[in-house]
Amino acid sequence: MLKRFIRYYKPYKGMFTLDMTASLLIAVIGMVYPVLTNMILRNIVPDSTLEEMRKITLIILLGAILVACYFIRMGLRYFVQYYGHVIGVKMQADMRREMFLKLEKLPFSYYDEHETGKIMSRMTNDLMDVSELAHHGPENFFICGISLILSLSYLFYLNWIFALVILGCVPLLVIITLLVRKRMRDAFMETRKNVAEINGALESSISGIRVTKAYTNQDKELEKFEVGNKNYVESRSYAYKAMGIYSSTTTFVTDLFNVALLVGGGILAAYGMIDIPEYVTFVVSVSLFISPLTTLINFVEQYQNGVTGFRRFVEIVDEEEEKTKENAKAYDTLRGEIKFHDVSFGYHNKDYKDDIEYQEEKKEVLSHVSFKLDVGKTIALVGPSGGGKTTICHLIPNFYQATEGYISIDGIPINEITFDSLRRNIGIVQQDVFLFNGSIKDNILYGKLDATMDEVILAAKKANIHDYITSLEHGYDTEIGERGVRLSGGQKQRLSIARVFLKNPSILILDEATSALDNATEIMIQESLDELCKGRTTIIVAHRLSTIRNADEILVVMDGTIKERGTHEELLLLDGEYKKLYLAQFKNR
């Protein structure tokens, strides 16, 4: 773990070296005060050969030297504080970038099992603590470590017997630190999880605020939020209890240093083993020994926060990415012949415990599904919810991988096609349209980032939304708000269709593309979809059977298997499941 953490310093090793050099100088300058104090009390004040004015001059000169050293230390502290934090922030940015790139490469199954708010908590709160550790960790250990060594060495130089008396209190401090450390670490890990729970609940509540208001369920959302909030308070209270025990006991031990100074110094002075100048210098030096020791003690909390955050960061970085075969090839264009070869698939439900150990249960969604869709043809999937229709659609772009059998496009198993080239050839229009916070143009351009404005306009015209866009004050530069909140359902759907027109894929998947729209809007959207389907291999998932009557083949998918297949007319003649669905929708017409 430590090696992994250290490698993030590598790009900033030059600045880090300067930072540590400045820290070393800060520690060295800290020893100037007791040394000068000893010189004044032992060499200058008692020297009877020096005149009073000479003594005063020398004391003022040494004071001026001390002030100059403190000015230098002030500049060094500024350098360490500013550039040290900059290093920490840059390392945080590197880790955040690495985590983001990792999240982009993780399979869909990861997002089935992890809430967005919890992931965001790891990327923000956790990495902030890691950044603070990256700065304060080396600085504190280096400055405090050097200060401890120098001050302890000077104490032994002054009086080795007295130094041993003071040093005798240190093991007690170390023992208490080790005993309480594990309790603090566990407490802070639990706090991290509860913060993530709160972020998850908050993200869900804010995203669904319109539903909450529509159903006047603010109290219910507050109740859900308070569960996580209460758990956070309890875990944080437990953490603070551990901190309280740690802080109070360690402070008591440091207070014992004063007792050792008083009693030990008094006894040594009584036996003539230490004089007054030596004793005063010793008191000053001990304060320089206790101060970095206390800093290290107080640093334990920040250390625990940083280590916990880094562990949670590493958990994501070490997640297995979605993979194709090593010999997978890229194809610029796929014609679009799709074939399912005895495909079975099951989702894996994970009941997480401590984010590490989990129980796994495999739920089979598809069982031995086989069919072929020729280039340019249209196939429709119908059947009850949960039957496996959407799963079939998710398997084609390789969002999930079949547990048995395989899928081929143009005769090539999709695992032998790179993700990028496979998905570039597939366009998806779903019921739940996702639009990004930005302009209309930006959202259409998502289909082809290097497209010209003329191509964007042409795609919008094909999707029957160009006239609406030009009627807006800012046209294509109109901001649509988060998830397109300023657009109607039909307008959002047509924007998503324009995006696919711009992408111009050879394979098209329409997953309940119009089921959330009213009849009038559906008719308008259907015209755009019909235009979009021309010349493309198309898979349509629909509950409204009126939209798929002209499909080349219709598959009735139930309980993960294909129960019936044929054209609209052929299926009606079978007098089976399709006819039941058809009559249920049209019996009153």
CATH architecture of 434-504: 3-Layer(aba) Sandwich (3.40)
Architecture of the structural domain at 2-317: Up-down Bundle (1.20)
The Cα–Cα gap between 306 and 134 comes to 8
Alpha-carbon dihedral of residues 245, 251, 252, 254, nearest 10 degrees?
A: 150
- 373, exposed or middle or buried, with CB in 10 Å at 0-12, 13-18, 19+? buried
Q: Which two tokens stand for residue 577?
A: 């499941």
Of 10, 283, 291, 18, nearest to 148 by C-alpha is 291
Dig out the tokens for 218 from the structure. 């603010």
Cα–Cα distance between 146 and 150 in angstroms, integer? Answer: 6
Residue 30, amino acid: G
| Strand ranges for 141-232 from DSSP E | none
Distance CA 554, CA 391 (A): 16
pLDDT of residue 562: 92
**CA nearest to 515, candidates 541, 550, 487, 549:** 541
Q: Which segments of the chain have a pLDDT < 70?
A: 177-178, 180-182, 184-185, 188-189, 192-193, 196-217, 224, 298, 301, 348-363, 483, 513-522, 586-589
Residue type, 550: N
Are 164 and 330 spatial neighbours (Cβ–Cβ below 8 Å)? Answer: no
- H or E stretch covering 457: helix 453-462
Which candidate, 546, 536, 560, places its Cα nearest to that of 429?
Answer: 536
Q: Which amino acid is at 484?
A: G
Identify the pLDDT of residue 115: 73
Q: Going edge to edge, which strands form the sheet with 357-373?
A: 357-373, 338-353, 404-409, 412-413
* In the chain, domain spans: 2-317, 434-504
DSSP string, 398-437: TSS--SEEEEEETTEEGGGB-HHHHHHTEEEEESS----S
Closest CA to 380 of 531, 562, 588: 562
Contact 366, 345 (CB under 8 A): yes
- HEC per residue, 280-293: HHHHHHHHHHHHHH
Q: How many CB atoms lie within 10 A of CB 212?
A: 17
